[in-house]
Structure 1
Amino acid sequence: MKKVQSSLTKLRNLLDITVFKILLFVLLGVILFLAMFSNVKPEKLDISLFSVAEQTIRSPITIEDKESTEKKKKEAGDQVKDVYVLRKEIAQNRVDLITSVFDSVIEVKEEVKEKRDEDNKVNTSVEEVKQEVSETSPSDMLTMLKGKLTENVTKEISDPVLSQLLQANKDELSIAKDLTVTAINNVMSTRIPADEVENAKKKLEEELKYTSLALNLKSAVIDLGRYAITQNEFYDPVATEELRQQSVESVEPVKILQGQIIVEETQLINREVYRQLELVGMLDNENSMQPFIGLALIISIVMAALYYYFYEMNVPIDKKQSYLLLFSLIFVLLILLMKGISLFQEIDYSEIGYVFPAALGAMLIKILIDERLAILLTIIMAICGSIIFNEGVTGTLHITVGIYIICSGLAGILFLSKQNQRSKILQAGLFVSAVNLVVILSLLLLRNGQYAPVEYAFYFVVAFLSGITSAVLTIGLLPFFEAGFGILSTMRLIELSNPNHPLLRKILTEAPGTYHHSVMVANLAESACEAIGANGLLARVGCYYHDIGKTKRPQFFIENQMNIENPHDRLPPQTSKNIIIAHATDGAEMLRKYKMPREIVDIAEQHHGTTLLKYFFHKAKQNGLEIQEADYRYPGPKAQTKETAIIGIADSVEAAVRSMSHPTTEQIEGLVRSIISDRLQDGQLNECDLTLKELQTVADTLCETLKGIFHSRIEYPEMTKQKVKRA
């Protein structure tokens, strides 16, 4: 063990140099990289087109299949039908056209009539009238009508049709007009594509066929209506393209998902399967560096987070280096254990990752260092576990194992937050096992798969083993880490505070007054330390042992002089001084003999610092001795930590207040502040990092605690009588 501690001391000294500290993190990163190298190394498949797959092949990555996506988009675009729009204004235009034809016919007839009436007024003889009428022949009327119509209309409507209209009287034309316009509206109110124009014309013809018009006029009206019927539904290229674009954009990209089966065992590798294998990089990936770059980046982030955490850790340098070495050792141990367990996946134990003692590292770091670092380690282990236990599918992440490790580690940390006894570690393991069972059950249910009872039993057994193994290994490894690194854990402190400890029993039996004094000082020091954020538990336990040296000569200390004469009354000041001063060095030697933690030894050795034994110093001067003040001071060293300094103040305060008879609140406050002021002026606090603000808080806390201890009590009649008798 001494050789181990010597080696660790050398390593700690090296870590004081920044370069070696960085090298340590680089070494941890290299170990991580080597452990996960095979899990991210791309798998090279020796397969050919139209061969039979010898194994089920899954995709190592999620990637878009652009060829399939484009094919799907093309199909979606092709399925979009052309957009045709109904132009309702065409129907109105054709109605207006036919209406204008009828109006033109009526106008021609009215013009002929007006001209005839004018001629009748001028020409009185019958022969002249007949001659004038005969001058406006049907051909002239037809010519007049064509003059009122457009060239396109006259080309499309035959002369016989126009002639028949001119031969009809005004009433017949009005009826024919209404029937024709109505029929045109009815037919053209529906869509008439190019290939349905003839059918629409036949429909109009059928509608006009059964009207009451004269046969010749009916025939003319039908021809006129057929001319009016035309296409009113037309292809819209802009709307068609917009609809086609919307359909294409709505197509979701075709993706090959990570872990998706590309080809199953014994299945033929056709061109499509071969193309997908090539797409995910499983045919020619021997020289791919991307997975290794990704792994290196993840490891860099993890190492940077750890470096920053230890850089910002607010503990003494030597303790920080010990913590760093301890963490590194536990970290490497966990990675190697995880990698070793993952090798069983190759023999068809794909879910063997659940047996990993996920709470082991979290509980060790929680007990030995602190809770925040334990949580950080749990997260890192979850990341590493999801890569290492990836079921042999390179490039994938086993997310369920990562979730399992996080939940298991946090369960162990939470249980030990308030349970610091070593005996509680096994209970923590049982608690972790219970959490593991619930987590695995929830993950199985989330998969929505069908599992046999044997499979459920397997999962539950490995979950239980994970929790119990974590506890057993924690209990087994804890003493080695505590002894090897000299770490005083919370659990170790609580064990040292047990009254059955041999040294505490020694104080209790051999120096009961000192024991009572130590307990009182412990109460004062713990409350003061906690008030400023120092380690209150360390202060309490240190107080229990700080006067262990008095057990060598208990009767020479006033708290143990019950009903006996003070031996210092018969001794010269020099001898008394040596006896009193020796209790600090004697106590430190006894604690070292019992291999007590260094922090406890330091408290026993430093709690008086280099203070002056004022009583014996002044007594020696009164005796006329030529002495030096340094001869009547404790050898020190001065308090190096906040806890030791506060214990020294609390020790003096408790002894001083106990010597007072019925101290008042004002007397207690004055005494406390006077002692702190003396220590400050004497330079006893120069080597610890207590601030003036913290000293003020310590003074206030000590005063409050002392007021609670030395509060005034009601004097009962019998107590008064006893005092009178004594007087």
Structure 2
Amino acid sequence: MLKLKLIRKKAASEKPADKKPADNLPIQMPFPHIHMKAWRFIFFLLLSIVVWAILAVNLLPEQVSLNEGDIAAEDYFYEGATQSYVSDLRTEEARVQAAAAVEELYIIDEDVIANLANKIGNYFDAVTRAAQGELDWEQLREILPGQYSDAELHAVTGLTAQEIAMIKDSFVRMVTSVFELGVLEGDIEQARQNISLAIGTSAISGNAAEFLKSLNNGLDYSYNKVFDALATSLRIQQAQENVRPVQITVRQGEKLVSKGQAVSAEQIEALRELGLQSESRQFTSLSGLFLLVLLCFVLFYFYLQFYKKAVFERQSALLLLGVVTVVILLICKLISLISFSMDAEMTAQVGYLLPVAAAAMVITVLLDREVAVFATVLLAIFAGIAMEGSMVFILVALAGGLTGVLAAAHLNQRSQFVGASIYITIANLVVICAWGLIWHQSYQAIGLGMLFGLINGLLSAILAMGILPYLESAFGVTTVIRLLEYSNSNNLLLKRLMVEAPGTYNHSILVGNLAEAAADAIGADALLVRVSSYYHDIGKLRRPHFYIENQVTGDNPHDKLQPGLSARIIISHVADGVRMLREARFPGEIIDIVEQHHGNSLLSLFYNKAKEQALDPDEVKLADYCYKGPRPQTKEAALVMLADSVQAAVQAMDNRDAGLVEEKVHEIIQLRVREKQLDDCALTFHDLDVIVQNFLMVLSGIHHQRVSYAVPEALPEADIAEEKTGEGGKQDD
């Protein structure tokens, strides 16, 4: 087998950079003089501001200005999503109640009881002394408190010292038992009565008992139960600290203030906390919203920079992301403003219509699946903010959006959006139903939400399918769907090529087969290569009979023309093709390949002919016989160039023996290398070896050998009849 011998080798430092095709955008980059890095920064900042402005519209509900005690002129309802706030008034009221519920703490003064016991002991010592004759009754009366009858004194002074001691101990126990429980300042007389009752129920009776009662009545008691201010204060403080902040939950549609009633402090607080009172700080809410939006786009910026450089470095891709984001958010915001029912719970179901899945599918098809996932998360957050921060709308947007990404990842026909809408609808319905069951929503609300979820799936698919062609055209994005549509033989230009230039059409199909096989092998865009091959010679439609593959009769008009004119006609098919494709609004990638598929190569046939006919060969200008270029800038353009040259050269061979075909393929590619036609693309020497092998494999299938069949002689009729009856069979009489 012949080896490909490259004429020259480049040093690694000479390897050309991988140049990307031009965007071919109808929309020109704004501020082209700004450095790309600064442009991206300004773009994301402006996008953050635009998104913030959209979300800030009606972020806070319509506000009122009421004061405590005002008479409400109308009913005021809360129309936002369910919200909870801490009520300072209710919390303070709960703390006051907790403090009031704390019992006052007292301490028992044990010194009071001890002093009473000592005092009682001294009195009974005097009684003992009187019983022993040391004191007379008058002296005893002066010592003892209170008034005593002679009978009472006679009874106790007639006792033995041991009996007096027993009476004393009993009396001390009675007094101690009462004072140990604590006696407040105002309860001294009640304590005296309790001691008197204890005396009456004791074992002491008669005048001795009366003596104790008289002594009890005469004693100067002091209170011993003292209020402990410090301990009580600490107990109150602890009780207040244990009070949890009182949260008030306000649901959508709940009445806050009734018409004709005086506005209370609690109602003013509710209006203020829910953002309905004009004294509320709107600046705080709007600042928080801007910080959140800015954070989202900062994260998006760095995600693209570090993980999706191909998107990050393309201005058209960033503009496309911005347009899709803004358009979908505008639609979401408009939907969020719809109010169709007095029932707030039912009206809130419109949040299930937000078409985040449409953006997810569009970004997936036009840019990148991973970028679409990140963008879907951001859009779901923004959609939730548009619906006043309700979590369920974020979940539905996420479920539908991510399902849309998965469904659109392998779309190759626009009709497949119908299937995608079914998957999105199923995801929406599952989340809506599950959420409604978890939070015990009414079946009517769940049913309406599921209906809107169904509409969302259909709306997202219709919206994505409707705006996709406009975005493809405006931003010069070539999708698989668009390429497949251009590869359809019913395309107007292909149909014209088939009818008006059938030879060129067949040549283009064969070039497509060659280039596509090689593109698959080296990792290039095979579909783009195939479709571009179909249109690479579309410019020949202007003068189809000037190209040999379309000359059925064998008359060649170039035989009657000057070589220079023939060269201009042949060369013009590139410019004609570019013009026709631009008029038909073909993608920029295809137009670039068509423009580059001949590079600046030489029409050697007419150049040599011109030199032969010229009186002075040196006067023949080489530039007049070269294509105008540019040389192929991408692998795909280079593949179309090589496939075009190889197919035409092999087709012109009289003897297509495998060895000769292989030699011709090597010769053509070596020629393109010598002409430096491949210098501006990213093909490597290894790629060229792989391309050769794949070209040869496809060509062997196209120009394979066939067995020659001899034409059989006609059989006699009798033999034919016998053949029909079967071998060994007999004919019926």
Normalising TM by the smaller chain, what interval?
0.5 to 0.7
Code of the aligned partner of 1:333: V
Partners of 1:715 and 1:386 in 2: CA distance? 69
Of 505-514 and 431-440, more deviation after overlay is shown by 431-440
Partners of 2:49 and 2:77 in 1: CA distance? 33
Does residue 286 of the first structure (1) align with residue 286 of the second (2)?
A: no
Report if the CA contact (8 A) 2:349-2:448 is conserved: no
Q: 2:676 is matched with which residue: 674, 683, 689?
A: 683
Q: 1:389 is matched with which residue: 387, 390, 400?
A: 387
Partner of 2:415: 423
Partner of 2:451: 461
Partners of 2:498 and 2:605 in 1: CA distance? 27
* Superposition deviation, residue 462 in structure 1: 1.3
Report if the CA contact (8 A) 2:354-2:383 is conserved: no
Q: 2:295 is matched with which residue: 284, 287, 301?
A: 301
Does residue 700 of the first structure (1) align with residue 699 of the second (2)?
A: no
CA change 1:316–1:504 in 2 (3 A) is: farther
Partner of 2:484: 494
Code of the aligned partner of 2:292: I
Partners of 1:520 and 1:450 in 2: CA distance? 65
Partners of 1:7 and 1:616 in 2: CA distance? 38
Report if the CA contact (8 A) 1:531-1:698 is conserved: no
* Superposition deviation, residue 597 in structure 1: 3.3
Q: 2:622 is matched with which residue: 612, 616, 629?
A: 629
* Superposition deviation, residue 681 in structure 1: 3.6
CA change 1:296–1:257 in 2 (3 A) is: farther
Report if the CA contact (8 A) 1:610-1:637 is conserved: yes
Partners of 1:344 and 1:372 in 2: CA distance? 33
The C-alpha deviation readout for 1:116-145, integer Å capped at 9, x for no partner, is xxxxxxxxxxxxxxxxxxxxxxxxxxxxxx
Partners of 2:309 and 2:511 in 1: CA distance? 27
Partner of 1:433: 425
Q: 1:368 is matched with which residue: 366, 377, 380?
A: 366
Report if the CA contact (8 A) 2:54-2:333 is conserved: yes
Report if the CA contact (8 A) 2:517-2:694 is conserved: no
Q: 1:718 is matched with which residue: 691, 694, 709?
A: 709
Report if the CA contact (8 A) 1:37-1:292 is conserved: yes
Q: 2:395 is matched with which residue: 400, 403, 406?
A: 403
Report if the CA contact (8 A) 1:362-1:410 is conserved: yes
Partners of 1:517 and 1:302 in 2: CA distance? 52
Partners of 1:655 and 1:252 in 2: CA distance? 91
* Superposition deviation, residue 304 in structure 1: 1.9
Of 49-58 and 699-708, more deviation after overlay is shown by 49-58
The C-alpha deviation readout for 1:170-220, integer Å capped at 9, x for no partner, is xxxxxxxxxxxxxxxxxxxxxxxxxxxxxxxxxxxxxxxxxxxxxxxxxxx
Partner of 1:648: 641
Q: 1:32 is matched with which residue: 32, 51, 55?
A: 51
Partner of 1:380: 378
CA change 1:344–1:591 in 2 (3 A) is: closer
Partners of 2:87 and 2:63 in 1: CA distance? 21
Report if the CA contact (8 A) 1:650-1:702 is conserved: no
Does residue 602 of the first structure (1) align with residue 602 of the second (2)?
A: no
Partners of 2:628 and 2:705 in 1: CA distance? 45
Does residue 444 of the first structure (1) align with residue 436 of the second (2)?
A: yes
* Superposition deviation, residue 330 in structure 1: 2.3
* Superposition deviation, residue 504 in structure 1: 0.5
Partners of 2:514 and 2:35 in 1: CA distance? 36
Partners of 1:27 and 1:346 in 2: CA distance? 34
> What is the aligned length?
538
CA change 1:37–1:376 in 2 (3 A) is: same
Partners of 2:331 and 2:292 in 1: CA distance? 20
The C-alpha deviation readout for 1:578-616, integer Å capped at 9, x for no partner, is 332222122223323434333333322221010112233
Report if the CA contact (8 A) 1:382-1:402 is conserved: yes
Which protein has greater RCO, CA pairs closer than 8 Å, 6+ apart? 2
Partners of 2:82 and 2:473 in 1: CA distance? 49
The C-alpha deviation readout for 1:368-396, integer Å capped at 9, x for no partner, is 33333332322111010111112xxxxxx
Q: 1:539 is matched with which residue: 506, 529, 534?
A: 529
CA change 1:380–1:429 in 2 (3 A) is: same
Report if the CA contact (8 A) 1:58-1:258 is conserved: no
CA change 1:273–1:20 in 2 (3 A) is: same
The C-alpha deviation readout for 1:228-273, integer Å capped at 9, x for no partner, is xxxxxxxxxxxxxxxxxxxx9xx99889598789x98589999999
Does residue 322 of the first structure (1) align with residue 316 of the second (2)?
A: yes
CA change 1:719–1:456 in 2 (3 A) is: farther
Partner of 1:564: 554
* Superposition deviation, residue 717 in structure 1: 4.6
Report if the CA contact (8 A) 1:42-1:288 is conserved: no
Report if the CA contact (8 A) 1:14-1:20 is conserved: no
* Superposition deviation, residue 528 in structure 1: 3.3
CA change 1:448–1:662 in 2 (3 A) is: farther
Partners of 2:398 and 2:580 in 1: CA distance? 44
Does residue 550 of the first structure (1) align with residue 543 of the second (2)?
A: no
CA change 1:442–1:58 in 2 (3 A) is: closer
Report if the CA contact (8 A) 2:68-2:265 is conserved: no
Q: Percent identity over the alignment?
A: 32
CA change 1:611–1:271 in 2 (3 A) is: same
- TM-score, length-scaled by structure 1: 0.62
The gaps in structure 1 that reach 5 residues or longer are 79-247, 391-396, 722-727
Partners of 1:442 and 1:702 in 2: CA distance? 59
* Superposition deviation, residue 478 in structure 1: 3.2
Code of the aligned partner of 1:460: M
Partner of 1:473: 463
Report if the CA contact (8 A) 2:29-2:315 is conserved: no
Partner of 1:111: none
Partners of 1:254 and 1:35 in 2: CA distance? 35
TM alignment of 1:12-411, pairs within 5 A: 13=32, 17-37=36-56, 60=83, 286-287=280-281, 291-308=285-302, 311=305, 320-344=314-338, 348=342, 349-390=347-388, 397-411=389-403
Report if the CA contact (8 A) 1:573-1:617 is conserved: yes
CA change 1:644–1:691 in 2 (3 A) is: closer
Code of the aligned partner of 2:43: L
The C-alpha deviation readout for 1:610-668, integer Å capped at 9, x for no partner, is 0112233334444563323322211122223332222112211222333443443x666
Report if the CA contact (8 A) 1:364-1:478 is conserved: yes
Structure 2 residue matching 1:564: 3-state secondary structure = coil
Code of the aligned partner of 1:341: I
Report if the CA contact (8 A) 1:39-1:387 is conserved: no
Partner of 1:639: 632
Code of the aligned partner of 1:718: Y
Code of the aligned partner of 2:49: V
Code of the aligned partner of 2:381: I
Q: 2:573 is matched with which residue: 583, 601, 605?
A: 583
Report if the CA contact (8 A) 1:412-1:431 is conserved: yes
Of 306-315 and 26-35, more deviation after overlay is shown by 306-315
Code of the aligned partner of 2:382: C
Partners of 2:439 and 2:692 in 1: CA distance? 59
* Superposition deviation, residue 544 in structure 1: 1.0
Code of the aligned partner of 1:25: F
Partners of 1:12 and 1:504 in 2: CA distance? 39
Partners of 2:447 and 2:364 in 1: CA distance? 31
CA change 1:63–1:668 in 2 (3 A) is: farther
Code of the aligned partner of 2:453: A
- TM-score, length-scaled by structure 2: 0.61
